[in-house]
Structure 1
């Protein structure tokens, strides 16, 4: 089934599942075109949700390696008209920097979404976890970070 056929289905749940399947199997060379086409779906909430899942899956696979930098640049261009998607890509880059102990800015982490703060609070960067234990956005984030610090000190 191609994206044009998918878009003709009136059921957004069917389209969502079909988009996810297409995105999961897309060749790297065709990824931008497919993301662009999915984002033309009239149900923008559903389309952006499908692309968000794709971005999260791909970023989780790519962030440790060198291919991430080019991929995130390309996907940032492809999602430029969609602020939430562009923000998620920025946050994946912050996560990458924190996790790989590359240079990162404290203010970027503190201004980030609950999603990124919670993901980082569960991670391995002691400096970031300490910051979130004290200044995380929510009680859950602070508790997760404190728990991580406790486990680290027992090791």
Structure 2
């Protein structure tokens, strides 16, 4: 071991933490402007990571609220050039539709990412038996298929 001091935390780590903190505290009226600013950071990977965490947090908070649609529409315009972020937001809309019993297409769910399919099967949200049956049979991974099957076998655990 040496007695050398531990290196300082890299600048992108500090910016990452500051951005996350700012997005957690931002007023709804200022959210779009802040997301836009974060996406202009010179480290695109770090910026995308911050924004996807923000999308995940806000979508989960707003899932059952009528404000979700307005929020998602606003963010869609900001993130339109960022494929991964756009897909994540679109998949949150699918999760919401399933949770609320709104219309959704089976192909949307069977072609959704592993993340989306796992989210539907976690039991953290209300999930339709139709969605679970579809994933039990056609889920992308064995993990998803098994989780969907377990949820179907124990419907009292569904919210």
**TM-score (ref. length: structure 2):** 0.88
Q: 1:147 aligns with which of 127, 131, 150?
A: 150
1:65 Cα shift? 1.1
Matches within 5 A, 1:5-20: 11-20=11-20
What is the CA-CA distance between 1:122 and the residue it aligns to? Answer: 2.5
**Residue of structure 2 equivalent to 1:81:** 81
Larger Rg belongs to: 2
Q: Unaligned 5+ residue runs, structure 2?
A: 1-8
Change (3 A) 1:121 1:154: closer
Deviation at 1:44, TM superposition (A): 0.6
- Matched residue SS, 1:95: helix
SS at match of 1:102: coil
Gaps of at least 5 residues in structure 1 are 1-8
Cα root mean square deviation, aligned: 1.7
Count the aligned residue pairs. Answer: 147
Which contiguous aligned blocks of 4+ residues in structure 1 show a shift greater than 4 angstroms? none
> How far apart, in 1, do the equivalents of 2:156 and 2:34 lie?
46
Q: 1:43-72: per-residue Cα shift (whole Å, max 9, x none)?
A: 111100001101111010112111011100
CA contact (8 A) 2:39 2:48 kept: yes
Instruction: Give the aligned partner of residue 56 of structure 1.
Output: 56
1:119 aligned residue: 119
- Separation in 2, partners of 1:63, 1:71: 11
Alpha-carbon distance change, 154 to 52 in structure 1, aligned in 2, over 3 angstroms: closer
Give the alignment's TM-score, normalised by structure 1: 0.90
